[in-house]
Amino acid sequence: MSSKFNDFLTKSLQTLNTTSSAHLGDRSQYVGGSDVSQCLRKAVDAKMNNVTHDNKSLLRFLRGHAVQDMFAEIFTAGNATFKEEVEITHPTKPHIKAHIDFVFYSAKRIYVVEMKSVNGIPEETRSSHLDQLGLQMGLLRQVTPAEVVIEGCVLYVDINAAEWDVRNGHNADSPEMKAIYTESERRADKIWQSVQNNELPDPEPSFLCPWCHCYDACPAHQLPEVVIPPDVLDTAKKYLALVAQSKRIKGKTDALKLEILGYTGKRFKGMSDGIGITVTTSNDSEMIDTEKLQCLYPDVYLACLKPRAGSTKLQVRTITKKAAKATKQDS
């Protein structure tokens, strides 16, 4: 029964996601904001092939719909004048479309909201989300009188933490958003042309790769030599800086620890001015010498073995030109 119920949930989830996304139409017939903001190879492959999503991805999609519905109720409670899922089509390139989550209207101003349901609000606005907002505002600008001001934001919502953050200050006529729109339109044309020619463009690896249906077969992830994409490289550099900082801090804390232990000895418990110090010392103990056991009693060693889950080790290091040259020669 549980297996049948699980199958029922899976099938129903797929049906609900199809219904929830029905307003987007056949996405193989146009290029949208989410297409230009992701890897071109992934976008083209998704339009050329029937891509299926796992339950985890489908639930994430539904979470986004649920959060959007929730905020629609909030906006309505505030007596705002807005529309949901506004479709804007390029006036001369019908293959380029955008579906805007929320558009607020007034006499001389239009305000665009691109909503993102996230697990943890990012410190900085993600470039892919700005790409989506830029395409939406750029298309809207082309079909809106020049005297009307078009502004917008990315609204991040972490429903689990019950938090939101508004990334405001974007104007359709600013140099930044104009540049983003120009590049987004170029990418949309590239995607559309690749689909028409049945050609897959080069991959654009990034932190979004783990969620890509092309990940396993993508040439950007074929070992042994993988080029690190800019966003991952930037994070690796930050990681190295923090590791170096933690080593300096550990050196200082180790020295202070020795000073404290010099006073407390091996056993101590005290408190003053809101600070408590407790020192405990375990007794000497014994352990099995596994190498000796394996050598002297191999049958017993094998009989006592049990499975252990593997682990993942991350190593980030600075490679000098000399080391890089030696590594290349060895390979």
pTM: 0.73
Question: Can you give the chain as a three-state secondary structure string?
Answer: CHHHHHHHHHHHHHHHHHHHCHHHCCHHHCECHHHHCCCHHHHHHHHHCCCCCCHHHHHHHHHHHHHHHHHHHHHHHCCCCEEEEEEEECCCCCCEEEEEEEEEECCCEEEEEEEEECCCCCCCCCHHHHHHHHHHHHHHHHCCCCCCEEEEEEEEEECCCCEEEEEEEEECCCHHHHHHHHHHHHHHHHHHHHHHCCCCCCCCCCCCHHHCCCHHHCHHHCCCCCCCCHHHHHHHHHHHHHHHHHHHHHHHHHHHHHHHHHHHCCCEEEEECCEEEEECCCCCCCCCCHHHHHHHCHHHHHHCCCCCCCCCCCCCCCCCHHHHHHHHHHC
Domain extents in the chain? 2-216, 228-265
User: How many residues in total does the chain contain?
Assistant: 331
d(CA 183, CA 36): 9
Long-range contact pairs involving 26-33 (C-beta distance under 8 Å, separation at least 24): 28/195, 29/95, 30/94, 30/95, 30/96, 30/97, 31/95, 31/96, 31/97, 31/188, 31/191, 31/192, 32/97, 32/98, 32/99, 33/98, 33/99, 33/114, 33/131, 33/132, 33/133, 33/135, 33/136, 33/184
Q: Which CATH code for domain 2-216?
A: 3.90.320.10
CB 135 within 8 A of CB 178: no
In the numeric block, which tokens belong to residue 10? 């899976």
The pLDDT value given to residue 98:
94
Per run of 10 residues, the mean pLDDT along the chain (length 331 residues) is 82 87 82 92 90 84 92 95 94 95 93 95 91 95 94 95 93 95 95 95 88 86 82 90 93 93 92 92 89 91 88 77 52 46
CB 265 within 8 A of CB 281: no
- Print burial letters for 212-236: b (CB count within 10 Å at least 16), e (below 16): bbbeeebebeeeeeeeebeeeeeee
State pLDDT tens for residues 216-230. 888 888 877 788 888
Predicted local distance difference test score (pLDDT) of residue 331 = 46
Alpha-carbon distance of 151 to 177, in angstroms, equals 10
Q: What's residue 328's pLDDT?
A: 52
List pLDDT tens digits, range 144-197: 999 999 999 999 999 999 999 999 889 999 999 999 999 999 999 999 999 999
Max Cα-Cα span within the chain: 88
Question: Do 133 and 170 touch, CB atoms closer than 8 A?
Answer: yes
